[in-house]
Amino acid sequence: MTSDGSPFDPLIAKLRRLAPIDDADEAALLALPHRVGRARARDYLVREGSRPQECCALLEGYAARSKLGFNGGRQIVSFHIPGDLLDIQHLFLERADHNVQVISEATLLWVSMPALRALATERPAIGTALWRDALIDASIFREWILNVGRRDAKSRIAHMLCEFIVRRSAAGLGTPEHTRLPFTQEEIGDATGLTSVHVNRMLRELAEAGLIARNGRALEIVDWDGFRRAAGFDAAYLHAAA
C-alpha cells in the first residue's frame, strides 16, 4: 500500500523506522479519526495541567516541550522535528505535566487519543513502535539531565545542537554540514539552562575555534568531527531511530 500525499506520511515514515509496520497497520493508522491544523511560533499545542483528548504529530516545522520554573524561567526539555509524536507522553496519563509549544510555523496532525491508545494494544507492531518511541524519548531526557548537570556551557550547547542535527538527518531532513537552525539564542539558553547572553558568547567562541560559521540567524557546521568532539557527542542514546 502506498499513501502518496497523505498527511500521515511523516508519521508513518517515523513509525516504520521503529518497528515493522505492515500494510494492515498502515491502513489502521490512516483510518484513525484525525484533522490537520496549522500553528504559528509560540502557539501552545499542549498546556501543563490540561487533559489532552487528542494526540498531536508534527508534519512540518519544529516544536519544543517545556516546563516553567517557580521564578518564571522556562526550561525546554526536548525539541521535535517533523514526524514526531508530540504527545505520546500523555497517552496513558490523565493530566499534562508540561507544555508543548511550536517554535516556528508548523503543520500538525491531530489524532484521537483513545483511538490511538486502542491501536497501541490491538496492533502489536504499532504498540511496539509507540513503546520504542516513548522509551527513546525517555533516553533523550536522561541525556539532557547529564547535559545540563555535568557539561560546561560550550559543550552543552554543542551537544544540544549535535543531537538536533543528527536527529534531523536521521529523518532525512538535511545534512549535518548545511543546517539552518530554527532556534533563537534564547531558546538554546532555555534548553541548556543558560542565559541567552551566555549562549551568544559561547557561539562566538565556537565560531572563533573554527567549528561553526554564522551569518545572520543561520548557522553552519564547518568542522563536524571537531564539533562532535567539542560536544562529547555519542549518538548511542538515540538508539539509531529518533
Partner DNA sequence: CGGTTCTTTGACGAGATTCAATGCCGGTGG
Partner DNA sequence: CCACCGGCATTGAATCTCGTCAAAGAACCG
Query: Which x/- pattern over 183-222 shows residues binding a second copy (rule: CB under 8 A)?
Result: ---------xx-----------------------------
CA angle at residue 97 from 92 to 98, to 5 degrees? 120
Q: Which stretch binds a second copy (CB under 8 A): 3-11, 28-36, 53-61, 131-139?
A: 131-139
Is 89 or 179 the residue whose CB approaches a second copy more closely? 89
First to last CA, the chain: 24
| Cα distance between residue 141 and residue 152, in whole Å | 18
Cβ atoms of residues 163 and 236 within 8 Å: no
Q: Which range of residues in 106-114, 168-176, 197-205, 234-242 is near a second copy by CB under 8 A?
A: 234-242
Supply 89's cell numbers: 507522553
> Do the Cβ atoms of 96 and 46 come closer than 8 Å?
yes
Q: Judged by CB under 7 A, does residue 195 bind DNA?
A: yes
Q: Which is nearer to DNA, 35 or 214 (CB)?
A: 214
The answer to the question of residue 225 lying near a second copy (CB under 8 A) is no
Three-class SS of residue 221?
strand
Residue of the chain from 69, 152, 178, 236 that contacts DNA (CB under 7 A): 152
Name the grid cell of 141. Answer: 531526557
Angle at 236 between CA 232 and CA 241, to 5 degrees: 130
Residue 213 touches which member of DNA, a second copy, none, C-beta under 5-8 Å by kind: none
Q: Kindly state whether residue 90 participates in binding a second copy, applying the rule CB under 8 A.
A: yes
Minimum separation from the CB atom of position 48 to a second copy (A): 8
* DSSP state letter for 232: T
Among 76, 36, 42, which Cα is nearest to 59's? Answer: 36
127 in contact with a second copy (CB under 8 A): yes
Write out the residues near a second copy by the rule CB under 8 A.
Answer: 49, 65, 67, 69-71, 73-75, 77, 89-95, 97-98, 121, 124, 127-128, 131-132, 134-139, 141-146, 148-151, 155, 192-193, 232, 236-237, 239
